[in-house]
Amino acid sequence: MIEMKPLVIGDLTVEKPIIQGGMGVGISLHRLAGAVAKAGGMGIISSAQIGFQEPDFTTNFVEANVRAIHREMKLAREIAPEGAIGFNIMVATKHYDVWVKEAIKAGTDCIISGAGLPVSLPEYASQAYKEMEQDKMPIPARRVKLAPIVSTAKSASVICRMWDRKYHMAPDFVVVEGPLAGGHLGFSLEQLTEYGADTDNVPATYHQDAYDREVREIIQVVKKYEEKFEKHIPVVTAGGIYTHEDVLHQFALGAEGVQVATRFVTTWECDAAQAYKDAYIKAKKEDIVITKSPVGMPGRAILNPFLRRIKEGDRPQIKSCFQCLEHCDIRTIPYCITMALVYAARGETDNALLFCGSNAYRAEKMESVEEVMRDLMGQ
């Protein structure tokens, strides 16, 4: 019998061991994160172009995003004053250091960072505290918890070794994102093919056992650093977790928490436009495809009119460049990912990139966050 124990990350206890995965652009903001935190899980706000609703977003996106980071955290805390609320911040975004520091100044409980390895995350976190000291801002007794997102034992090993060498520290927890996840994936197309996760027939073709082996290996890597630093480092797994049985499977592998994203999109509280949620409810299994995003990584999305046009060679005009990603070249990209995701957030779904996990087709109706939490907990 597997027990659903609280997720304990140092001095931070999350009553229900469920983290809602960060979803950009504008899919997981204060409403969803606040509702998950209120229901006893950990709510995660995505910092990706978080200021897209600000009037000066197109002319001054850095300031617009900074303002929105503080606003979204404040509003989420109003929903769940005692809850655990964090930020997901993608390494691949330009001004990564700014988002990290502002999230800490806004009082985030944790930062979960993927889409690249967050090599400098600890450095930016300590800079944030120094700046807070200088500015005489109150420093919370509970320090921010830092978590890299990894997909392979190799990447887990690299990031742990780097933090050890550079900062003499280990992650506070580690998020392991598997091949069934949504959004950008930490796998090459070849790796996805090996796992049987590159087709439009996932999860039928998915080699669960093969990735379970990888998860076990990652847990072993983390254990070495637990011993070295004499601190407990929980491993939280993500990707395709949709039911209580899925959660139990992850716990049996050794996970102490799960990160779930897709299942939360079709909740009333999710910050996405209703048209986005409806696209999940309407999607069939074969509509969920792997596409190469302008970031250069494979991503999972719904095959909608926009993606069909892109596949046929259409190149929508890029009117202005936000310079928002480290590795994005306006001369070679098929479309601007920020605009494609902003259209999604606004509900203009036919012109948008609709990121989703491989299980999005399973959504049949709208639910409340409380219902999803209870279902995942097996209550």
Ligand X SMILES: Cc1cc2nc3c(=O)[nH]c(=O)nc-3n(C[C@H](O)[C@H](O)[C@H](O)COP(=O)(O)O)c2cc1C
Chain residues binding ligand X by CB under 6 A are: 21-24, 27, 46, 48, 88, 90, 114-115, 149, 177, 180-183, 238-241, 259-262, 355-357, 359
Burial tier of 70 (Cβ tally within 10 Å: 0-12, 13-18, 19+) = middle
- Written in H, E and C, the secondary structure of 85-146 is EEEECCCCECCHHHHHHHHHHCCCCEEEECCCCCCCHHHHHHHHHHHHHHCCCCCCCCCCEE
Q: Are 9 and 256 in contact (CB under 8 A)?
A: no
Q: Is the Cβ of residue 23 or residue 170 nearer to ligand X in the bound state? A: 23
Q: Are 48 and 337 in contact (CB under 8 A)?
A: no
Least spacing, CB of residue 328 vs ligand X, in Å: 15
Tokens of 56: 């000066």
Least spacing, CB of residue 258 vs ligand X, in Å: 8
Closest to 186 measured CA to CA, from 263, 287, 300, 282: 300
Q: Is the Cβ of residue 117 or residue 181 nearer to ligand X in the bound state? A: 181
CA–CA gap between residue 333 and residue 55 (Å, rounded): 26
Q: Is the Cβ of residue 85 or residue 356 nearer to ligand X in the bound state? A: 356
Q: Are 19 and 42 in contact (CB under 8 A)?
A: yes
Q: Is the Cβ of residue 160 or residue 261 nearer to ligand X in the bound state? A: 261
Q: Is the Cβ of residue 157 or residue 359 nearer to ligand X in the bound state? A: 359
Least spacing, CB of residue 136 vs ligand X, in Å: 33
Least spacing, CB of residue 299 vs ligand X, in Å: 9
Q: Is the Cβ of residue 137 or residue 210 nearer to ligand X in the bound state? A: 210
CA–CA gap between residue 308 and residue 77 (Å, rounded): 40
Q: Is the Cβ of residue 160 or residue 345 nearer to ligand X in the bound state? A: 345
Least spacing, CB of residue 324 vs ligand X, in Å: 12
Cα→Cα distances 41→5, 176, 178, Å: 12, 18, 21
Q: Is the Cβ of residue 34 or residue 239 nearer to ligand X in the bound state? A: 239
Q: Are 149 and 114 in contact (CB under 8 A)?
A: yes
Least spacing, CB of residue 240 vs ligand X, in Å: 5
Q: How many residues in the chain? A: 379
* CA count, 13 A, side-chain hemisphere, 92: 20
Q: Are 365 and 266 in contact (CB under 8 A)?
A: yes
CA–CA gap between residue 86 and residue 111 (Å, rounded): 6
Least spacing, CB of residue 58 vs ligand X, in Å: 20
Least spacing, CB of residue 99 vs ligand X, in Å: 11
